[in-house]
Structure 1
Amino acid sequence: MNNRFARALTAGVLATGLLIGVAQAQELQPIDRIAAVVDEDVILKTELDRAVANILGQYAGRSEQLPPRDVLERQVLERLILLKLQVAQAQGTGVRVTDQEIEQAIAGIAQSNRLSVDQLRQQLARDGSSYADFRNSIRDELLVQRLRQRFAQTRVSVSDAEIDAALAAQANTGTQYHLAHILIALPEGATAEQIATAQKKVDGVKALIDKGEMDFNAAAVRYSDSPNALEGGDLGWRSVDEIPAAFADMMKAMKAGQVTAPLRGPSGFQLLKLVEVRDASQSGPQMVTQYHARHILVRVNDQTTEAQAKAKAETLRARIAGGAKFEDVVKESSEDLGTQSKGGDLGWFMRDEFGPEFGGAVAALADNEVSQPIHTTAGYHVVQRLGTRESDVSNQSKRAQVQETIGRRKLEEEWNRFLREKRSEAYVDFRMGKGSEGNQPGTETTLPTKGG
């Protein structure tokens, strides 16, 4: 039995069991229809309705920019399918999120909206949303974030040679480009007929934009197959090293507001719009204060409580105040194995490099002064500040920024490829709407015409 058939059989049995259970309970509660079966999970109609309502709320007063209801539901359903696949992948590879982390995230959301958690609960209730559903959505978001972080650590690397090449390319320009795109997707191994249909569709979309019958953002919302379609295809600001070379040369020759001719890429046909251009170059030195310090660390763990760790750190500080050599106490008692053999030396660092609590305490010391125990997530530190200096970190900062942007571009490319693979391998059975006839991603083939 091949894997695809096995998944289909399992999902079919699961869905059948759920339907039987619903039928047996129909006298007790309304039937919650299944919108789609995704491998061994399901997306319920209520989930889809909530997600669609959220989009409608975001576009309040601009509903004319949204596609017809059935197309919008299909776009949102595809998002939910990808979310289910990512959550399943995260859970299947050992990614976990604790209840405490979920509560902390919710508290952060409430605080950013100037609400208490109780007020947030009340707001959700007024909006007709369940707190349990909201909490589950936060859990899923955290799982996907962790999965993406793990993916970046194992699949993405940036070499010094790549950084050097990008810096050389930027030597005479600090230009950044604000881009948006429309994607007309093609499946892996697309047939000549599928390619021709997609070509015809992208040509039709381009014609609508060129004639002024629809602006780019509205066309992206209505016709793009990209995950960011409902954001108008916005790709944000990109520097030259964040844009594929073939596109970067094209952007340099374009003016703000212009749209490219259809471009064929690995995922289908694209239209790219240059929204804005800006000069983000940084001139002159970037002077910062750096600190030189050494430390002793007492960790908090299963064997050592917070109180015990703090008490031990206070004892070690008292020994130093009584005349013991700092480096001797480090070798005897510090639990930071990375600096223990160097007498606890941390080298030169910027204030918040080891966290705001640590940096703030070091900044408040005089040279050669030894701190009281400093509490951080690592445990309790006793720190001696050895000196300060003003340093130009412009080159260091530029290299770090370039490394980040190249890494972000690579991650985006690899992650999107990974999602396409997961989607193509998944068993998806649509139970409602236009998609119910197949198990592959919907590709709306109706050509755009005036008036949509």
Structure 2
Amino acid sequence: MTKSFPVLLASLLAVSSVSAPLQVIAQEAQPLDRIAAVVDEDVILQSELQRAIANIKAQYAGREAQLPPDDVLSRQVLERLVLVKLQVARAQGSGIRVSDQELTQAMNAIAQQNGSTLDALRQRLASDGIDFNDFRASVRDEITVQRLRQSFAQSRISVSEGEVDAALKQQADAGNQFHLAHILVALPDGASAEQIATGQKKADGVKALLDKGELDFNAAAVRYSDSPNALEGGDLGWRTLDEIPAAFAQTMQQMKPGEVVGPIRGPSGFQLLKLVEVRDASAAAGTHTVTEYHGRHILVRVDDAQSDAAAKAKIDTLRARIAGGADFQQVAKESSEDTNSKGQGGDLGWFPADAFGPAFGQQVAGIQDGGVSQPFRTDAGWHIVQRVGTRQTDVGSDNQRAQVRETIGRRKLEDEYNRFLQELRGEAYVSFRSGDRAENTATPPQS
């Protein structure tokens, strides 16, 4: 899989967010030095936890009722911070580094997204009581985690052409894609009968609240889900039938948007699944038609050995020969200085207009099939181009295959990386503190 995972320059756990007013965070977060948790050989300070909680609350401004009680929210956010610490440590142990130059580029990008400069962002952070170095450290950690995830994907995730073919066939047969959200009541590996019964009771209770209309699904996910995407309302995005658990897939085709099914027992625990909306898969994939040209060209280079004037004089002579009846391909074989196409009589094959730059595209688009352009200049030198033919090409099928491959890879990565995080969490020493006193030293990993 060659998925490139973009750096999310301001996550929910960053010191600040491009979508959250910095002053809100400053007002709610007071720097404290107490330890909130010990994570292997690292610590999470109470000030880090409070900044992250304040950021979550800023994200939910006007929708505070959807958030769980403060103690539950604190534990959810602390678990996320623990996972960040563990991922950063694993990344560093694997040799993943973020240079100061790369970090500065990321910081400049954040400033630009806020319509500001880096110096202005620094001043704004300072005026809101946010330490600039803390902010930089948060961004560095975030980039590091993204690179660990990317490295994980490249080393462990692959999608075969057969998988793409099967998904396309199923997509064509089903005709629909489904926008889903879920609530997970997690169970630990090797759950006891008592733990299973407790999980079932909780899942049934959440479903009852939804059925009565006492909570909407997103709010219930934020309050009760054990999934890593709980604070995003459990949103799973768009999925095809092959990406939906078999236990839900058949039922999903009979559901209407807004309906909820479950709880159903799965490998991670009990799940409730909501169908948000449905769309036609072929319409979503769409078609994209581009104009392609079949062309030949002759190049006379401008370099240290040949001045611009000399090259222009030479290309004018070659153009005059062709206008007088000389064969374009033969002239190209004899005189073109493009070593890649000279042997083929200057043949470039089929290409979109922008393949060789805007100047080349403008010339080839401005003549008729069979026509030859006037000499024109590019960075390489002077050209003339002959347009052999034109065609309209539907690249929708290629786009659709790429989208399907990406979707399958994303699903595999989500499953595998969540298992990786669960293993990482289960192997780590984590001690939560109340003030400076240990509260507990064992927290079940989240699926």
> Which bracket does the TM-score occupy, shorter chain normalised?
0.7 to 0.9
Determine the C-alpha separation between the residues in 2 that align with 1:441 and 1:324.
73
Equivalent in 401, 404, 415 of residue 402 of structure 1: 404
Deviations 1:192-231 (A, max 9, x none): 2222211111111111111222221111111111111111
Change (3 A) 1:294 1:165: farther
Deviations 1:382-401 (A, max 9, x none): 99977664312122222111
Contact 2:181 2:237 in 1 (8 A): yes
Unmatched segments (≥5 aa) in structure 2 = 1-30, 315-333, 365-371
Equivalent in 433, 436, 440 of residue 439 of structure 2: 436
Residue 58, structure 1, aligned to residue 64, structure 2: no
Change (3 A) 1:231 1:284: closer
Deviations 1:109-134 (A, max 9, x none): 22222222233223323443222222
Deviations 1:146-180 (A, max 9, x none): 11111111111111111111111122454222211
What is residue 23 of structure 2 aligned with on the other side? none
What is residue 419 of structure 1 aligned with on the other side? 421
Q: Give 1:435 deviation, angstroms.
A: 8.6
Determine the C-alpha separation between the residues in 2 that align with 1:54 and 1:126.
17
Deviations 1:362-419 (A, max 9, x none): 5345478786337xxxxxx999977664312122222111111111111111111111
**Could you tell me which amino acid in structure 2 is paired with residue 373 of structure 1?**
D
Deviations 1:65-84 (A, max 9, x none): 11111111000000001111
Partner SS for 2:439: helix
**Could you tell me which amino acid in structure 1 is paired with residue 277 of structure 2?**
E
Determine the C-alpha separation between the residues in 2 that align with 1:400 and 1:237.
16
Report the TM-score when normalising by structure 1: 0.74
Deviations 1:50-74 (A, max 9, x none): 0001011112222221111111100
Determine the C-alpha separation between the residues in 2 that align with 1:57 and 1:284.
37
Determine the C-alpha separation between the residues in 2 that align with 1:112 and 1:121.
14
**Could you tell me which amino acid in structure 2 is paired with residue 427 of structure 1?**
Y
Change (3 A) 1:220 1:325: same
Contact 1:35 1:432 in 2 (8 A): yes
Contact 2:36 2:45 in 1 (8 A): yes
Contact 1:110 1:120 in 2 (8 A): yes
Contact 2:182 2:221 in 1 (8 A): yes
Report matched runs for 1:239-250 at 5 Å: 239-250=240-251
Change (3 A) 1:63 1:351: farther
Contact 1:288 1:350 in 2 (8 A): yes
Determine the C-alpha separation between the residues in 1 that align with 2:438 and 2:182.
24
Determine the C-alpha separation between the residues in 2 that align with 1:125 and 1:411.
38
Contact 2:426 2:445 in 1 (8 A): no
The alignment-based identity, stated in percent, is 62
Residue 125, structure 1, aligned to residue 126, structure 2: yes
Q: Give 1:278 deviation, angstroms.
A: 2.2
What is residue 269 of structure 1 aligned with on the other side? 270
Change (3 A) 1:51 1:407: same
**Could you tell me which amino acid in structure 2 is paired with residue 279 of structure 1?**
D
- Which shows bigger deviation, 429-438 or 185-194? 429-438
Report matched runs for 1:327-366 at 5 Å: 327-328=338-339, 348=350, 350=352, 359-360=357-358, 362-366=360-364
Determine the C-alpha separation between the residues in 2 that align with 1:383 and 1:164.
43
Partner SS for 1:254: coil
Deviations 1:17-48 (A, max 9, x none): xxxxxxxxxxxxx9711111111111111100
Determine the C-alpha separation between the residues in 1 that align with 2:410 and 2:302.
40
Determine the C-alpha separation between the residues in 2 that align with 1:318 and 1:247.
70
Determine the C-alpha separation between the residues in 2 that align with 1:348 and 1:370.
20
Deviations 1:263-308 (A, max 9, x none): 212211111111122234239853113467899xxxxxxxxxxxxx
- Which shows bigger deviation, 406-415 or 164-173? 164-173
What is residue 251 of structure 1 aligned with on the other side? 252
Partner SS for 1:83: helix
Q: Give 1:348 deviation, angstroms.
A: 4.7
**Could you tell me which amino acid in structure 2 is paired with residue 417 of structure 1?**
R
Equivalent in 286, 289, 297 of residue 288 of structure 2: 286
Residue 38, structure 1, aligned to residue 39, structure 2: yes
- Which shows bigger deviation, 108-117 or 134-143? 108-117
Partner SS for 1:188: coil
Residue 372, structure 1, aligned to residue 370, structure 2: no
What is residue 116 of structure 1 aligned with on the other side? 117
**Could you tell me which amino acid in structure 1 is paired with residue 50 of structure 2?**
D
Report matched runs for 1:4-83 at 5 Å: 32-83=33-84
What is residue 180 of structure 2 aligned with on the other side? 179
Contact 2:40 2:429 in 1 (8 A): yes
Deviations 1:418-447 (A, max 9, x none): 11111111111111289922322378xxxx
Contact 2:180 2:275 in 1 (8 A): yes
Determine the C-alpha separation between the residues in 2 that align with 1:343 and 1:130.
64
Change (3 A) 1:145 1:227: same
Change (3 A) 1:85 1:294: farther
Q: Give 1:328 deviation, angstroms.
A: 3.9
What is residue 303 of structure 1 aligned with on the other side? none
What is residue 205 of structure 2 aligned with on the other side? 204
